[in-house]
Structure 1
Amino acid sequence: MSKIALITGATSGIGEACAHIFAQHGYNLVLLARREDRLAKIANHLEDKYAITIKQVFADVREKENLAAALDAIPAEWKKVDVLINNAGLSQGLDPIDKGNTDDWDTMIDTNVKGLLYITKIVSNWMIPNKQGHIINIGSIAGQEVYPNGNVYCASKHAVDALSKGMRIDLLPHGIKVTAINPGMVETEFSIVRFKGDADKAKKVYDGLEPLIADDIADAIWYVVSRPKHVNINDMLIMPTAQATATIVSRNG
């Protein structure tokens, strides 16, 4: 029977790139996302291209009760998940703490921290009886250092780092691997979301340098997952060549 990967935030960026690479390697997929039309389009394309099977889950990781109900409704055979990719996450706003928008704070914490927890509790309980599984948490360079006006987003990604370490300890007796993938600058919809749809402002983030792309991160995730059973990559920090730290970059444009 084919292995199964569950990917959150599967309709764009790193999540969509992961769906492609895991489908390419013969995994059946549980794709979870908020954008139903886009989810269906991606799922249909991958099924046709790679001859795999996909279970679509239309849900928001922030909505605990609806999320639990949507996942509970999945047939038992789809709950034998081998890999969970906790990709759903975002940043909103780039303001100093005294000028921050509290609605933005709630959205980041509810998505990046609480949503990750809700999914992980459910899926880890599916993995435990099988005495195996692999959880991939998408963190950030923002979870390794703090930069100006990053306050709450950085805090949420520091939480992902701490939770990854805690999960690794708690799930060790059950044979479940936990890996944190921490990208630097990746050109996806991330900056567009941060700047609330301002594409021009988002584009300027990457002016004069070559950032990572979603496929770079998906490729790294596949590398981690494809290691032998006795090998776990605990953490991976991935930066574009033009970036040394969260704030120090080389721009040649």
Structure 2
Amino acid sequence: MTPPRVVGAAAYPPTVSEPTAAAAGREPAVADDRRSGPGLFVVFEGGEGAGKSTQLARLATSLRRAGGEVVCTREPGGTPAAEAIRGLLLDPATGGLDSRAEALLFAAARADHVARVVRPALQRDAIVLCDRYVDSSVAYQGRGRGLGVAAVAQLSRWATEELHPDLTVLLDIDPAAGLRRARSAAGPDRLEAEEMAFHDRVAQAFRDLAAADPGRYLVLDARAPADQVAAAIASRVEASLAAKRLPQ
């Protein structure tokens, strides 16, 4: 099978108005803004229980065998400050946080994480594997909380100084099945505990984002055998690395 075409990430702020796109039944269009420079930035996205962490770890093991620096990180988190914000955001005791405050906290954690971990690693020509990034905020706060895709995308663009992934892996899963997978003895975190309608909106937002930018996304069925999913991810990352090495 011919490998998927690999391009850089799209700019997050929509180039058409959100109401216009919504009326047409699609996600707002985005302009192509390819990330140049060293390193490779791969993001794993998906709803609760999609298996992102498992697949990220498998890919990291495979890449490290081949040599070179591989940095595994997550959002929110990745730095002491961002991990502290993560604790606040996911702790059920935090309760009913205002949606705008929630979006700003995610953006604050992301700004510190990108400045201190992601960008320096890419400048060292490392491969950065990140569990969640901007599209999670667009899906969870923009669509799930109803703050608007355009508004949250613009906030994230500012927080990251327009650092976009080279590849986004979406592990697609039915929200109810994912939440069953994600259950732990400690009980659900603050976002896992949201009503099913919230998780349905998030799942659809991820699908819409992927449909709007198929060159950046690799969409896989999270219910498929783990080995099959891992092989598909490894193949696409290999293609992404090869594309990075081509003369610009």
| TM value normalised by structure 2 | 0.39
Larger relative contact order (Cα-Cα within 8 Å, sequence gap ≥ 6): 2
| TM value normalised by structure 1 | 0.38
